[in-house]
Amino acid sequence: MQMDLIDTFLDLCETRSFNQSADRLGVTQSTVSGRVRSLEKSVGARLFRRSRAGTELTTAGLRFEPHARALRVIWAEARQAVQQSDAAAMTLRLGIQHDLLDNHVGPWTAAIRGLLPDAALYVEADYSVQMCRDLTSGALDLAIMFSPSRSADLYVENLGELAYRMVSTECEAVTQVQADRYILPNYAPAFTQSHAAQLPGLSGGPVSSGQAGVVRELLLSLGGTTYLPENTVNDLVSGGLAQAVPDAPVVHQPVFAAVHLRNRHRPAFRRILRGLKAQLP
């Protein structure tokens, strides 16, 4: 079964743009066009109508969409069934945001193990966009992320918020922070928006990164000021490597859990979501 054709069709149903779908899928626009032509040949009907105004589903495309979603669900369930561990009651494939690895992956994995002691767990780190794709395709069963995508195939719950605090190797107050010595963090769109609203004078910087681990190393190597997760800041302060900036605002980043819609009401997943929610304030 050529699921890349189905995945491309469903992505186009969301974006209505061959260019945008090519970017999201990590392929060229010609590849997207070729996949659509192959699928249209297979079903014997034109599925999209392209014009200067954009890309629209034809009547045949509208009729095919629910069947395409059903095919993707069936394919994911089939893959999960044949890959099921013989030694475990179920295999759970968990994706987690990179920035949550250092302080949260251990407690969360332990919590899941406590809730599902007979399950075999596979844990990997990734970014929100890719994890949403993997949930939709069936490559992941559950993901913990910063920026869930809007999709008819996904169910998302807010687990809580992660606090980020200002930390510095040279400043004791926000008024002392120099823009040209500021390491700009870009952890997620929600974080960036909140940061810009609270600290408009520090919305630029000579060095920037979207990973907390990288930001930490930049701070220690270059010196200056930045924002890091609260637990990381506490470790740096207790180790005498940096100091907190107490009068700086706390920037909060929402954390979400996502599962495929078909798993929303399954007892095991409901238990996991409740357990994960208890891990964050």
| pLDDT tens readout for residues 194-222 | 999 999 999 877 899 988 989 999 999 99
- Higher model confidence: residue 12 or residue 83? 12
CATH topology classification for 85-160+254-277: D-Maltodextrin-Binding Protein; domain 2 (3.40.190)
For residues 159 and 74, the model is more confident at 159
CATH topology of domain 3-82: Arc Repressor Mutant, subunit A (1.10.10)
Lookup: tokens for 138: 């069936």
pLDDT exceeds cutoff 60 at 134: yes
Distance between CA 223 and CA 100 in Å, rounded?
24
80 or 133: which carries more pLDDT confidence? 133
pLDDT at 86 exceeding the cut of 50: no
Within this chain, domains 85-160+254-277 and 161-251 share the same CATH topology: yes
Q: Which range, 62-66, 118-122, 202-206, 248-252, has the best average confidence (pLDDT)?
A: 248-252
Domain boundaries, the chain: 3-82, 85-160+254-277, 161-251
User: What is the pLDDT, as a whole number, of residue 239?
Assistant: 95
Average pLDDT over residues 133-141: 87
Is the predicted pLDDT of residue 144 greater than 90, yes or no? yes
pLDDT confidence of residue 281? 64
Q: Are 22 and 32 in contact (CB under 8 A)?
A: yes
CATH number corresponding to 161-251 = 3.40.190.10
How high is the pLDDT of residue 80? 66
Predicted structure pTM score: 0.69
> In this predicted model, which residue has the larger pLDDT, 220 or 110?
220
Number of Cβ within a 10 Å radius of residue 224: 23
- Exposure of 173 in the CB half-sphere (CA atoms within 13 A): 2
Q: To 10 degrees, the CA torsion angle through 43, 48, 50, 53?
A: 180
Compare 136 and 83 and report the one with higher pLDDT. Answer: 136
Least confident among 17-21, 71-75, 189-193, 249-253: 71-75
